[in-house]
Amino acid sequence: MGKNWQFILILAGLLLSFTLLFEENKTRSEDNVQLPQHTLQIIEEELNPLDIRLNNYNLYGRNHQDKIPSYDEVMEYLEFWKQTNDRVEWTFQETEEREAWIGTYTDPTETYTERLAIYVNQQGDFYSAYTIYEVSFLPVKDWKNLFSELFADTSTISLLYAEDVFVRVEGTVEGNEADNVKQWGNTIVNALSGKVVEGISEETFVSLSAHTNLWGQEINSNGQQMNLQVALRNISHGLGEETTVTIGTPLITTEY
């Protein structure tokens, strides 16, 4: 009984410390007006005049905790995430290098899915926990209701704890000039008031890194600040050709 009460008291203290961190991060986010949903809305509004069909939005957040002194505290850390994300279903995976707890949730209407992954490995006498939160959702007309669900404290607590938050938008180019990937890449960067700082261009593929004043969260790339990445690829298949578009801030966090 004594050990149970000791665990409860430790867990309560941990939850309190994370709650205070949550309130601090929430206030900081509101002060900076750099919430990821605002970035998504800007991208949608600025690209609306173009012949681009947006078909998937993605938010990616990550957090790293190192020098955790004991495995018991790792379990307390995991329990915190389980309590603050109680609607996800958890699975456990183990390899020689690390342990992983994967939590997933799919909205009943299949509008969006959430995934929370916590990777733990031992480093000498300490443990390290790497937490990744990802939500993917379809474009909808009613942004307000969708965001009230996605960005409620019960779900976006993961994003507000994140050290870094990345926004990604995916779609396809339409129109007669859809196969001109270089032209379309520059058109998208210009629509987002961006200035190209570096890029890679091929006949069927282009990747442009740029800087825009429409949002912050800049990173350094070869001595220059960037916060926007645009990639297009023209793909031939049995039904013809298709040009895919991937837009990321401050960079793209998936293969493209």
Q: 3-state class of 185 per DSSP?
A: helix
Domain map (residue ranges) of the chain: 2-32+59-165, 175-249
> What architecture is the 175-249 domain classified under in CATH?
2-Layer Sandwich (3.30)
**Residue 193: DSSP 8-state:** T
Integer Cα distance of 247 and 224 in angstroms? 19
Do 193 and 69 meet the contact criterion of CB atoms below 8 Å apart?
no
Phi, psi of 44 (to 5 degrees): -60, -45
Per-residue model confidence (pLDDT) at position 19: 41
> Is the domain defined by 2-32+59-165 classed in CATH 1.10.10?
no
Within its chain, how far is the Cα of 149 from the centroid?
Answer: 16
Smallest CA-to-CA distance from 226 within 207, 245, 244, 243 is with: 207
pLDDT tens column, 102-116: 999 888 877 788 899
pLDDT tens column, 181-207: 999 999 999 999 999 999 999 989 999
Q: 3-state class of 35 per DSSP?
A: coil
Do 91 and 101 meet the contact criterion of CB atoms below 8 Å apart?
yes
Distances (CA, A) of 39 to 10, 42, 58, 168, 202: 38, 5, 12, 10, 29
The token pair at 206 is 């282009």
Positions of the chain with pLDDT lower than 70, given as ranges: 1-34, 140-162, 237-240, 255-256
Beta-carbon contacts of residue 60 (< 8 Å; ≥ 6 apart):
132, 133, 134, 165, 166, 167, 168, 253
Per-residue model confidence (pLDDT) at position 146: 62
Integer Cα distance of 150 and 135 in angstroms? 8
Domains 2-32+59-165 and 175-249 share a fold: no
**Residue 108: DSSP 8-state:** T
